[in-house]
Chains A and B, each alone.
Chain A
Amino acid sequence: MARVRKTGDWLSAQVGDGLVMMSPEQGNYLGISGVGTRIWELLDTTDDVEAICDALREEYAVSPDQCRADVDAFLAKLDAQGAITYLTGASD
């Protein structure tokens, strides 16, 4: 079961329907929008990727496999920016 946690001291601000984030220590900027914004919110309530997928499937019409693939792709992007860490494996 994959578990993830937000890392670093990100500042964030709403711009339009998206979120812009900055890590003062790393100097990176990250823009997220749409479902990504919702996933970022959900990361404050759970570290369980499966629980995030369950929550999303209640809000969006999406198949379980597609949902998991999209969430994994988004988390990989956050991981590349140093915005999250995997507590347990990314693909188990």
Chain B
Amino acid sequence: MFSYNISSLVVDCEIELPGRLAATSNRPAEITIRSAIVPEALDAPIAVAPTWEMTRDQFLLRVPGVARFLVVGDDTILFDAAATATPADLAIFLAGSVFGVLLHLRGYVVLHASAVRVGACAILFCGASGAGKSTIAAALANRGYPVVTDDICAVTIDPVPIVHPDGRQLKLWREAIDALAMSDKAREAVRPSIRKYYVEPPAADRTPMPIGAIYALREPRPPAVIGIQQLPPAVAAAKLHENAYRPRLVDRLGQAGLYFAAATRIASDAGVYHLTRRRDFASMEQVLRSLERHWDAIGLGGRPA
């Protein structure tokens, strides 16, 4: 059995999860991931989509050629691997989508975001897949800002919004690794067939911390102009729901109120912004400088040494 710390939870997993940092805590496991026979469908589902279905306390995800995954209650993940599945295939879903669903079921506010630490706070970058979340986190990590989460960001509200580090390596495309000169930190491919690799961040932080700011990434398509723009609270609240890891699941679980409470709290305490920038690597240095100026302006000091 392998043991990991993911989003402040101790996770025991029957198979190795590449890209995950080993557990540092001796607490008993809160989540168990193991192989089992998983049905093709669930009895009396309350929601059904082409690839998934759910009941009150179970969530089934079907990934053809990889596995059927079943989240049971809020502490168990079962997987039934297809004959053609590689361990890397299983790991990417177990540590990614399936774990994200489990966090939703446990009542976390789960955002599609990557985060770094600035001073004592987490700075989140959210956006759809391909928006550049991991790349910007990697570029900031190169500047000495520790990475907190990549892709999935688990937040609890108690009473201030707290980010729980995911204890994982970054996942970056080869082009980003080359542009950021991080080849020495690149590890195995995320899946053998794609040019995306696990990358050891130069620094990582594994302590839960409050949110300092959230940036929604976008490109400068008119009328959007390059720069950092604070979102009015109602827009910020809508933006946070939109950037939930699985927005439809939030609605199905009746958690819209939870995200609303989190969003209004974050809009009050921290601020939600658009970061409008060109996505090319040539603009990265300029983007990082404008972020650092913004952190100075909103009082989030703490440049890394």
Contacts and interface: CB of A to CB of B under 8 A. Distances in A.
Interface of A: 11, 13-16, 18, 20-22, 24, 27, 29-31
Interface in B240-290: 241, 251, 254, 256-257, 260-261, 263-265, 267-268
Contacts of A31: 232-235
Given A13-B264, A16-B268, A24 B257 contact: yes
A16 B268 CA distance: 6
A13 B261 CA distance: 7
A29 B235 contact: yes
Given A15-B264, A22-B237, A31-B234, 4 more contacts: A13-B260, A13-B264, A16-B233, A20-B264
Contacts, number: 44
B238 interface: yes
A21 B233 CA distance: 9
Interface of A is mostly: strand
Nearest to A31: B234
Contact of A11 (B233, B238, B260, B267): B260
Scoring A15, A24, A30 by chain B CB atoms within 10 A of each residue's CB, the highest score goes to: A15
A29 B264 contact: no
A27 B256 contact: yes
A74 to B, nearest CB: 15
